[in-house]
Chains A and B, each alone.
Chain A
Amino acid sequence: MIIGVCLKQVPASDSRIKIDGSGAGVDASDLKMEINPYDEFALEEALKLKDAKVAKKVIVLTVGGSDSEQRIRDALARGADDAVRLDDAAFAGSDSLGIARILAAAAQKEGVGLILAGKQAIDDDNSQVPAMVAELLGWPQVTVVDKLELDGGSFKAWRQSGGGVRDVVTGSLPAVISADKGMNTPRYAKLRGIMMAKRKKIPVYDAAALGLDPASVGAAGAKVTQVNWSEPPARPPGRILSGEVPSMVKELVTLLRDEAKVL
């Protein structure tokens, strides 16, 4: 079986995000990018399945420009066998559905039998793409999975469903699974992998190669448009109380009740 791992590059989690000139996007100029952390769990799970000889091949699927190649190489260095980069001027302005269409087409083209993705990307936090990919392909899906077992043509997936309750979902392959934290511990790239990644070619597929109608993706096919971004309101400055401890405690309680309204 071939496992497809959907992998997106996102700004490093400790970045300071600035809004760009258009007011509807992020200024990426000074941002340090990394693999979306949840995608790292998806990749690790795929690599483990390959180590266990359940999967024959792991292929990375990334929608992105040439600037995402470093992240793809990172994934190859960790042990992914192949990668395709999905890029076309017609893909610009895609909403989640557009991205899902591109990924679903790539998965089909590559003969993928299981798709692993992160439960969400930490930039937009939409959590939409994996579910949409499953829907487009007509495959079963389980989201926010922290444990996965495969047995022949079927899978068993564990997920937290809130309130301490754990769901166990079984189904048949092909399927889409989105990964949560705790699923595994992502490995580091070994030097051997780093050097092998260097020699790998990363093919780029455009809309035509994927058999996609350009009008179904990108801004043309988008059902959602981002109109405006704004910064969260600045945090009001803190207040430091002074005086004797008993009077400060009284003042603090009053402030928490009357001003902060948290009591």
Chain B
Amino acid sequence: MEWTDEHRMLRETVTKFVENEINPFVDEWEEAGIFPAHELFKKAGELGLLGLTKPEEYGGSGLDYSYSVAAAEELGRCTVGGIPMAMGVQSDMATPALARFGSDELRAEFLAPTIAGDKVVCLGVSEAVAGSDVARIQTKAVSDGDDYIINGSKLWITNGMQADWMCALVNTSEGHPHMNKSLVVIPMDTPGVVRARKLNKLGMRSSDTAEIYFDEVRIPKRFLIGDEGGGFFMQMLQFQEERLWAGANVLRGLERAIELTIEQTRGRKAFGKSILDNQVVHYRLAELSTEIEALRALVYRATEEYIRGENVTMLASMVKLKSGRLAREVADSCLQYWGGMGFMWETEIARMYRDTRLISIGGGADEVMLSIICKLMGTLPEKKKKRS
């Protein structure tokens, strides 16, 4: 991976943005269970942070994905997981398909203001009946002249309480579940869109997560992203960036967990020495630091190949799998060495323990990553034909 002076300056801008615009407010936002998305994203948009890899015609910078990785890495300096996740949805999870496959008209209307931070976006894939098994979603868009009429619901939608539009995966026909889906833009102020409730979560508390219903929601057909029936395929592509982004974003937080734990255990004495002086503790922290560097190397390698235009489904899935697993390991080990203090709600290590738990579930659970890797390794048993 070649890091240029421009990457360095971008990293510095993101670092300052985190230190001044995010970290001082984290406690307040965690308590409130929501953060001012429009205000924060506007600031990020003005700095150009929401469209690094997006086309210049729509206010992006047209850079390669290494810039998103550099920015995601520094966003990991946030002392909380919910805010980077919410920003990641805006910049790298809900917009890649629109940027790549959307019509010019649609991109001008929705992508440009999202990159500028004037509109907040959410990604609507999961439903109460379908998370890992994306193909199983039930939300339907039925053709009615020049419009679609949408009925159904979405669950666990990040930014859902504040979003101005949703990039939603819906069924636009019957037929094979990989061929019957489409991605559409649903403006959240369309009649029939109901933000049913803000969900109460174990972690990522500063990020609002919503349950959303669609009751006879009418949108024009021009809100279709790309081709009708191409939604599943486009969403799978969109997931690649989401997974690389997640891997890059987790690194600094884990490093900070180790640093905080060194500080904490060095200062605390038991049985005539510091906690850190126990070999089991300092060896473990060395081991975990090594793992973090290994993950970083994997993230960089996957990014390099992605930039070169290779299919990185396997590497991106490995990145996502390892990020989730390692984050759990680091947070759990560190919390252990903090003792009772680690179990206190307000300590950063406890927050990290709660927040990082999501990585192994959201955006494709560990087991889903494993099954993708197995499929590409040719070790996944043949599926029985009939779906339930």
A109 an interface residue at 8 Å Cβ cutoff?
no
Residues from chain A with a CB closer than 8 A to the CB of B47 are 188, 190-191
Q: Does A198 contact B (CB under 8 A)?
A: yes
Kindly state the separation between the CA atoms of A247 and B37 in the bound complex, as whole angstroms: 56
Chain A residues contacting B12 (CB-CB under 8 Å) are 74, 188-189
**Of B3-11, B226-234, B322-330, B362-370, the one with at least 4 CB within 8 A of chain A:** B3-11
* A150→B236 CA distance, assembly (Å): 57
Interface string of A181-199 (1 = CB under 8 A from B): 0000000111110110110
Task: List the A side residues contacting B5 at CB < 8 Å.
Answer: 70, 73, 198
Q: Which residues of B sit under 8 angstroms from A73, Cβ to Cβ?
A: 5, 9
Q: Are B61 and A189 in contact, with the CB atoms below 8 A?
A: no
Whether B61 lies near A191 (C-beta < 8 A) is yes
Contact check, B13 vs A189: say whether CB atoms are below 8 A apart. Answer: yes
Q: Which of A74, A194, A195, A198 has the most CB of B within 10 A?
A: A194
Secondary structure class of chain B's binding surface, majority of residues? helix
Asked if B52 is at the interface of the complex by the 8 Å CB criterion, the answer is: yes
- B48, A191: Cβ atoms under 8 Å? yes
Chain A 149-192 per-residue mask, 1 if CB under 8 angstroms from chain B, else 0? 00000000000000000000000000000000000000011111
Whether a CB of chain A sits under 8 angstroms from the CB of B215 is no
Contact partner of A191 (CB less than 8 A), chosen from B8, B13, B16, is B13
How many angstroms between the C-alpha atoms of A189 and B11 in the bound complex? 10
Residues of B with C-beta under 8 A to A195: 6, 61
Q: Is A5 an interface residue (CB 8 A)?
A: no
Q: Is A103 an interface residue (CB 8 A)?
A: no
Interface pair A190/B16, CB less than 8 Å apart: no
CB distance from A77 to the nearest CB of B (A): 5
Residues of B within 8 A of A74 (CB): 9, 12
C-alpha gap A70/B5 in the complex (Å): 8
- Residue B87 interfacial (CB < 8 Å): no
| CB within 8 Å: A-B pair count | 37
Tell me which residues from 27 to 52 in chain B have a Cβ below 8 Å from any Cβ of chain A: 46-49, 52
Main secondary structure of the interface of A (DSSP, over half): helix
Q: Does B17 contact A (CB under 8 A)?
A: yes
Complex alpha-carbon distance, A73 and B10, angstroms: 12
A-chain residues with CB within 8 Å of residue B6 when the two chains form the complex: 194-195, 198
A73 and B5 CA atoms in complex are apart in Å by 9
User: Interface 1/0s, chain B 334-364, versus A by CB < 8 A?
Assistant: 0000000000000000000000000000000
Report the minimum CB–CB distance from A41 to chain B (whole Å): 15
CB distance from B310 to the nearest CB of A (A): 26
Knowing A70-B5, A198-B5, the reply to whether A191 touches B10 (Cβ < 8 A) is yes
The answer on a CB contact under 8 Å between A190 and B9 is: no
Among A73, A74, A191, A198, the one with the most B-chain Cβ atoms within 10 Å of its Cβ is A191
A198 to B10, CA, bound (A): 12
Bound: A144/B16 CA distance, A: 25
Q: Which of B106-125 contact A (CB under 8 A)?
A: none
Report Cα–Cα, A192/B9, bound state, in Å. Answer: 11
* A133, chain B: closest CB distance, angstroms: 28
Partner of B48, one of A70, A190, A198: A190
Residues of chain B with a CB closer than 8 A to A70's CB: 5, 8
In the bound complex, residues from chain A placing their C-beta under 8 Å from that of B10 are: 191, 194
| Least distance between A60 CB and chain B CB atoms (Å) | 15
Residues of chain A contacted by B61 (CB below 8 angstroms): 191-192, 195
Output the residue of A74, A195, A197 with the most chain B CB within 10 A. Answer: A195
Could you list which residues of chain A lie within 8 angstroms of chain B, going by C-beta atoms?
70, 73-74, 77, 188-192, 194-195, 197-198
If A73-B5, A195-B6 are given as contacts, then 11 extra A-B residue pairs at C-beta distance below 8 Å, sorted by A number, are A77-B9, A188-B12, A188-B13, A189-B13, A190-B13, A190-B48, A191-B48, A191-B61, A194-B13, A197-B9, A198-B5
Seen from chain B, the residues whose Cβ lies within 8 Å of a Cβ on chain A are 5-6, 8-10, 12-13, 16-17, 46-49, 52, 61
What are 15 A-B pairs at a CB distance below 8 A?
A70-B8, A73-B9, A188-B47, A189-B13, A190-B13, A191-B10, A191-B48, A191-B49, A191-B52, A191-B61, A192-B61, A194-B6, A194-B9, A194-B13, A195-B6
